[in-house]
Amino acid sequence: MERLKSFYWSVLLVIVLWASTFLIFTKDEWSQGRGVFGDMFGAVNALFSGLAFAGIIYTIQMQRKELALQRDELVLQREEISKSTDELAGQKELMAKQQFDNTFFNLLSLHSQVLESLEYPDNIKGHQVFKKFHTKMRTRLTDNSIVTFKQVYEESNLAFDNFIKTTVTIVDFVKSQSSLTYTSKRQYLDFYKTQFGDHEKIFLFYYCHSYDVGLKYILHEYNFLEGIDESLFVDELKEFWAFDSKFKNLVISN
């Protein structure tokens, strides 16, 4: 409607100007010096030129408004695309979280299976295996607890390697998740830690000192052995737990 009003006003202005010119040239003082009568029709050409000019102005106004509408549509499209992108990112993050949770709890189930597969004679299974292992270690303790641990470990002929591998796999799996914050990793590993009794923790402690010192720092980084029963230490290695600055005061970077 506004476009038509602008066009009408342009046409009206052209007609008014054309009519004013025609009236001026028909006055006596102007008509006396007038040339050939047909030259008066030059005013008609002026009329059509003016109307054409008015049409151009109208077209330009229409194009400006159409461009403005296109810009508004582009802005809306960008907003919709941005919103869709954010929604997709949220869905992707949620799916990744669900996939991680499924894998994590499947690994916990595997940990339980490996634990139950450990068995000493006299039907000693699961958590009780580590208690039995600790008793043997105390009984056979020599001047060097590391040597004693290795002897009992190798003579046990049990699948302790699977237990260690499963533990390392789960800890590394959580530790390697770049999408998780350090606090979130701690929460998951704190939950995993509840699957370990005191004798499993002391077993891991001596295993780290006997075979895999690197694992010690990984476990300490997430306070995995926190709350260990210090009465279960069999010798001077308790001092490492209490005073070793590399072990107890490891600097954690998030």
d(CA 195, CA 108): 9
Kindly state whether residue 92 falls inside one of the protein's structural domains: no
Kindly state whether residue 222 falls inside one of the protein's structural domains: yes
Tokens (6 digits) for 95: 């799916």
Residues 138 and 241 in one domain: yes
d(CA 239, CA 229): 14
The crossing angle, in degrees rounded to 10, of helices 213-221 and 160-175 is 50
Residues 241 and 142 in one domain: yes
Kindly state whether residue 235 falls inside one of the protein's structural domains: yes
d(CA 135, CA 197): 15
Residues 232 and 127 in one domain: yes
Dump pLDDT digits (tens) for 2-14.
555 665 666 566 5
Residues 77 and 189 in one domain: no
3-state DSSP assignment of residue 160: helix
Tally of domains in the chain: 2
Residues 75 and 122 in one domain: no
Is the pTM here over 0.75, yes or no?
A: no
Dump pLDDT digits (tens) for 96-154.
888 999 999 999 999 999 998 888 877 888 889 999 998 888 888 777 788 888 888 88
* Contact indicator for 158, 142 with CB cutoff of 8 Å: no
Residues 146 and 241 in one domain: yes
C-alpha Rg value of the chain to the nearest Å: 45
d(CA 173, CA 100): 9
Mean pLDDT value of segment 57-62: 75
Residues 123 and 244 in one domain: yes
Residue 27, Ramachandran bin (φ over 0: left; ψ between -120 and 50: alpha; else beta): beta
* Contact indicator for 11, 50 with CB cutoff of 8 Å: no
Kindly state whether residue 110 falls inside one of the protein's structural domains: no
* Contact indicator for 108, 192 with CB cutoff of 8 Å: yes
3-state DSSP assignment of residue 225: coil
Predicted confidence (pLDDT) at residue 176 exceeds the cutoff of 60: yes
Kindly state whether residue 99 falls inside one of the protein's structural domains: no
Kindly state whether residue 202 falls inside one of the protein's structural domains: yes
Residues 45 and 165 in one domain: no
Kindly state whether residue 241 falls inside one of the protein's structural domains: yes
Kindly state whether residue 188 falls inside one of the protein's structural domains: yes
Whole-number percent of the chain with pLDDT over 90: 15
The residue range of the domain holding 122 is 118-248
Q: What are the start-end ranges of the E strands in the chain?
A: 119-120, 124-125
What is the CB-side half-sphere exposure of residue 117 using CA atoms within 13 A?
14
* Contact indicator for 220, 247 with CB cutoff of 8 Å: yes
Residues 75 and 123 in one domain: no
List beta partners, residue 119: 125
d(CA 233, CA 242): 11
